[in-house]
Structure 1
């Protein structure tokens, strides 16, 4: 094997599988598929493999290859249809068509396998619009979605409502630090979310019986780790003894944030000057605390995103999982690490001033619509509503995701480890 190009061209990867079990009964739920490059090459580990593909601009193609090879291996084993297969997905792969030579096996998996697609916090933060479209398409096929490495990054907690996962995978480090305050905060937030949504909690990295017991105290019902089996070839026969349930995701609300909130909350009229204090208060919430929330804002015109505002948003984005500033003329990345978009003069968002904050334990939305006054800028009037209803805030925030352009990726390697 001469280089990474030859490896990808020859589809020369293999898949190993690690079992997922019911922590209460020991029943087999399914397996996670984990990619390996050729042994004896610099690309055997998934980190090295994907780093090399990323360096030559073929990461998304490699991602399709890894999934197709995993599906081919699974289908060749003629598995029990009740088994659930966890397969990773790179963030940008959803925007790239499947290579022609892999299309048949991807389609066969779609019709014959119960798949849970694993995504990470960075997937949402890098390309929220693409990931929302991808997960919607996956669910239309009857597949599930898992949010991986929850707790490894504080931002993953704030992003759970946006992906609405069927499975929440607790990062393995939590089992090793069960008495740490950070672990307690993560477990509380995940437990509350799972109770309200019906999501299943899965604990990774279980290596001992004590780890398994700790995982159950954290609310996990499914376990994965060396205690149950190391990654390896599929055994024969491959049969399930328990079935993982999928949940019904909430329907996407139609309309803009103002329209969504105004249907449920009273609307009041006031001036821009009066709204500024509310807006700053919500921005302050986004920059406060050890569990940084998502911040999504609409500024109407790019000129309202002043240099001082830009500096605030850069500071917030350095610590928050997802920050966006939308407005005519702002472009796809109006400040480093801040998502934006390009929309025209007739876009309905151009008339709105929105500030939406979603965190693990807090949610708030200020939504306002310009009534079209002329005259001094600070005296322009807006119809507005303010809500702290979590479900309503999340609905308003999710309505903005399709507008967001991707931002430059941070070169983390989480999705294909194992």
Structure 2
């Protein structure tokens, strides 16, 4: 016991601590937005690991001293390395409540080493009961008054994380790694993280997913819409921080998704671009003041150097901030305008569809009224929220003109447009034609309202298994649906759709008909017949065959042929129509290929 006490005192007296930095990644911009400062003890010491180090310090009532030493060493190293991104510094709420806690000590350290407080996020970690929320709230307010932002660490691991979140209203909240590990295979964890993201959006808070170790975990949190991530998948903590994230950690499909043609001829970011001449981030504040003074219509100034945007200056914010200072232009006039930049601007590729731009901005809950539009990462111009809203509204109205009134899914016009776009861009896709079996007899017996419910059940089954990232669903009339699959696992999705529909359909029949396996009613000739339960038939055209077609008309013909074959099979079934090219003439022939495992999926 005494040996450990001597060891921790020797470390504190000799300042024998080494800061490490782990990058925090902006998933929207695919780059490092900040670093978490982490501490290690001497490599030859039993207190090398942070767990042993902090546990021992707590045991001997040295937690406050250790924490401030960690803070000093981390800030000094951050300043020496001239890091431009934000620094996340860990702080224990219990330490904040200790009598020896010195208010303003962190600000004094930053001033000593020349670090802007706006670069620092105080990361509060809470693993033990702490009931004094008033002091916690006052501490957070005190830090913010000095220019710090607040992050709440390990949400879900502490005793009162949600209460603290509501009390402190932090700018960032970090989800405990327990909920990130394996979340792609765990519906409970997925729902938990989705809920946290939803709450964060409503509270204007950014979520950071900690502990990402695999590509699957990364894809899952990105799909949820989380804006920031941290973990070994990107980089481990290092003494010399990683300066740039290798693009290989971002799967190709995520990097290039926005470059595929938008649905229904939707406009892209380039269509709302404003060509605003940028200025250098080194421009003096007084020169910026003159620009605004001589141009009353100028409201936005992008900061660009070497074709890379580093910030956006908004007229109202600039003037308010400048003249809120006691000495205003006299004090700040010679400083570069980059000192007025608080956040890295959101950059959107010119080819990103408007709906995806809207989703990205919504997930970030940014207060900025504008964003940068880029071409392969280089500055092109500015997009504004007002222009985005106007274009998105126009697009939604246009889509609604062709939507099916029952399911609100796109009709034949936008579906045909989408097919033609994919063909023109030579992007592989498969095509599915979904049709109900024994639907008319069901309508005759149960009524049209019940029939509408089944049609909506088909739409639900399709939307559950085909996300906007993996395809487009259309309702072209009656009980006919179309799915354009842009994913590689289209066949598996179809099989899952059929299985889902098979399990759903009994709920629309009475017990007698379920037991009988169908209904007795008249056929079209007026004869009494037995009709099995409603089922779903799918005619499919594979990606190789769609790629050989000239237009949506050719694909529709192949899909209709496949659907007719599928309907000859009892129960929920599918049939694939594969079109092969004749080598000698280059003409297209239609050839049907069967597979017992692929045709008749479920009865």
- Normalised by the length of structure 2, the TM-score is 0.37
Q: Give the secondary structure class of the aligned counterpart of 1:32.
A: strand
Cα distance in 1 between the residues matched to 2:69 and 2:113: 14
Aligned to 1:343: none
Question: 2:12 corresponds to which residue?
Answer: 8
Q: 2:226 aligns with which of 205, 220, 224?
A: 220
Question: Residue 49 of structure 1 aligns to a residue in which SS?
Answer: helix
Taking the aligned partners of 1:222 and 1:160, their CA distance within structure 2 comes to 18
Alignment partner of 1:169 is 2:174: yes
CA distance in 2, matches of 1:237, 1:19: 9
- Aligned counterparts of 1:98 and 1:160: Cα–Cα separation in 2: 24
Map of 2:122 onto structure 1: 117
- Secondary structure of 1:165's match? coil
Q: Is 2:99 the partner of 1:93?
A: no
Match of 2:53 among 44, 49, 60: 49
How far, CA to CA, are the matches of 2:128 and 2:145 in structure 1?
20
Change (3 A) 1:210 1:223: same
Give 1:199's aligned residue. Answer: 205
How far does the alpha carbon of each residue in 1:163-203 deviate from its partner, in whole angstroms, 9 at most, with x for none?
21111111122222425454245324312321211111111
Match of 2:300 in 1: none
Q: SS in structure 1 opposite 2:162?
A: helix
* Alpha carbons of structure 1 residues 23 and 150: separation in structure 2 relative to 1, 3 Å: same
Check conservation: 2:79, 2:114, Cα contact below 8 A. no
Residues 176 and 209, structure 2, Cα contact 8 Å, conserved in 1: yes
- C-alpha contact (below 8 Å) 1:123/1:131 kept by paired residues: no
CA RMSD of aligned residues (A): 3.4
Contact preservation (8 Å) 1:145, 1:166: yes
CA contact (8 A) 1:13 1:37 kept: yes
Q: Is 2:141 the counterpart of 1:136?
A: yes
Separation in structure 2 between the aligned mates of residue 46 and residue 220 of structure 1, nearest angstrom:
28
Q: 1:77 and 1:87, CA in 2 relative to 1: closer, same or farther beyond 3 A? A: same
Which residue does the alignment assign to 1:415?
Answer: none
Q: How high is the TM-score relative to the length of structure 1?
A: 0.52
* Equivalence for 1:233: 239
- 1:209 CA displacement: 2.0
Q: Cα–Cα, structure 1 residues 154 and 235, in superposed 2: closer, same or farther, change >3 Å?
A: closer
Distance 1:200 1:214, change over 3 A: same
- Per the TM alignment, residue 127 of structure 1 is displaced from its structure 2 partner at its CA by 4.0
What is the CA–CA distance in structure 2 between the aligned matches of 1:154 and 1:188, rounded to whole Å? 21
Q: 1:183 to 1:116 in 2, by over 3 A?
A: same
Partner of 1:66: 70
Contact persistence 2:93–2:126 (CA under 8 A):
no
Question: How far has the Cα of 1:62 moved from its partner?
Answer: 0.6
Summarize the alignment of residues 10-409 of structure 1 with structure 2, pairs less than 5 Å apart: 10-80=14-84, 83-95=85-97, 96-98=100-102, 104-108=108-112, 112-113=116-117, 114-122=119-127, 125-153=130-158, 155-178=160-183, 179-180=185-186, 182-235=188-241, 243=343
- 1:324 alignment partner in structure 2: none
Q: For structure 1, which runs of at least 5 residues remain unmatched after alignment?
A: 249-418
- State the 1:233 CA deviation: 1.8
Cα distance in structure 2, aligned partners of 1:244 and 1:159: 28
- Deviation of 1:204 (Å): 0.9
Q: Number of matched residues? A: 247
Helix, strand or coil at the partner of 2:140: helix
- 1: distance between equivalents of 2:122 and 2:128? 12
Offset, 1:106:
4.2
Q: Which runs of 5+ in 2 are unaligned?
A: 246-308, 312-342, 346-363, 367-603
**Alpha carbons of 1:124 and 1:198: their partners in 2 closer, same or farther (altered >3 Å)?**
farther
1:38 CA drift (Å):
0.9
Please say which of residues 230-239 and 186-195 is displaced more in the overlay: 230-239
Question: Is the radius of gyration larger for structure 1 or structure 2?
Answer: 2
Local SS of the residue matching 1:122: coil
Cα drift, residue 124 of structure 1 = 7.2
Query: What SS class does the counterpart of residue 3 from structure 1 fall into?
Result: helix
